[in-house]
Structure 1
Amino acid sequence: MATAELYLIRHGLAGEHGSYPNDDERPLTEEGKKKTREIAKRLLDLELNFDLILTSPLVRARQTADILLKVGLSKKLEEASYLAPGGSIDAWLEWLRSQQQAHFCLALVGHEPGLSEWAEILLWGKSRGALTLKKAGVIGMSLPETSSPVGSSSLFWLTPPRFLLG
């Protein structure tokens, strides 16, 4: 298995829940787009560069991932259904095991509570309900090189968006 630097990024501020007939199509608000762009530029200023951005296919997550891409944080973007609400960390772990790179930097763009639950599983082996990722917030983790990342990953960054905004 590859060793990875993993960034879990929650989508930006989106339209009000319940205000769209199909919640999958709920987009970022104009304020959400603006703040997400500012945060993406700040991440670039911090010299982050993702080998790949994997995103939930839902509109608000895809728009967030597109902003990260346009700002220059990566040259490669793919949709992954397991990042949608209710998605399976096991499907992502299977994908991760298939990666052949010696080291890579990966961003996952998705939703709550899924991203926080995934972080807890990677850190502690199970979800404890202790972490909450704010909209456009970032969790940074190091995944181990030789063992399963479940319960053996290391947290190096948990940032609410307000610390990244000018």
Structure 2
Amino acid sequence: MQLYLIRHGIATEAEADTNDTERTLTEKGRQKTRQVAKQLRDKELHFDLILTSPLIRARETATILKEIGLSSQIEEFTSLSPDGDIHTWINWLEEWRKNTTIKGYLALVGHQPDLGNWAETLVWGETKGKLVLKKAGIIGLTLPETGNPVGESQLFLLTSPKWFL
């Protein structure tokens, strides 16, 4: 199974009077995200499912991926919120694998440093704080077909959006 960790696009700046959960993508963020999505589509990538953080900027990013044709399914997943728990997702993955015949491509849309930390945990079994994912950037991992993916996954892609533009 291939897992793509996708950071949300460029969002409005955090301000004292703005709730972080309500920050939206900027026009530049929407444009870059569309360009990255089109490049992925041109490489004939299609996600069986996109799980997204419930924060607006991540949901908007996931919606763009869907609109470009990268998936027909989006689901919110609370653990993809900032400081979310990877183990909740691993439990979800185990159940999903039991209940679906789909074994192909899964995308998670979320936030940094969480996505970088999740990738490190899946590859090395621990967080090292070294993988940095730019806005609209992508980490690609190959997960083992069965069992716990922690420390057993392989990194095949780490790219910023400029490589797609």
Aligned match of 1:43: 40
Aligned match of 1:120: 120
Aligned match of 1:82: 79
Matched, 1:5 2:2: yes
Of 54, 58, 61, the residue aligned with 1:61 is 58
- Distance change >3 Å, CA 24–CA 123, structure 1 → 2: same
- Deviation of the 1:18 alpha carbon: 2.4
What amino acid is the match of 2:80? L
Q: How does the TM-score come out when normalised to structure 2?
A: 0.95
Structure 1 residues without counterparts, runs of 5 or longer: none
Aligned match of 1:28: 25
- Structure 2 distance, partners of 1:144, 1:102, is 14
User: Is the 8 Å Cα contact of residues 13 and 32 (structure 1) preserved in structure 2?
Assistant: yes
What amino acid is the match of 1:114? D
- Structure 1 window deviating more from structure 2 (78-87 vs 97-106): it is 97-106
Aligned match of 2:156: 156
- Structure 1 window deviating more from structure 2 (28-37 vs 15-24): it is 15-24
- Structure 1 window deviating more from structure 2 (59-68 vs 15-24): it is 15-24
Q: How does the TM-score come out when normalised to structure 1?
A: 0.95
What amino acid is the match of 2:70? L
Aligned residues: 162
Identity %: 56
After TM superposition, where is structure 1 displaced by more than 3 Å over at least 4 residues in a row? none
Structure 2 residues without counterparts, runs of 5 or longer: none
What amino acid is the match of 2:69? G
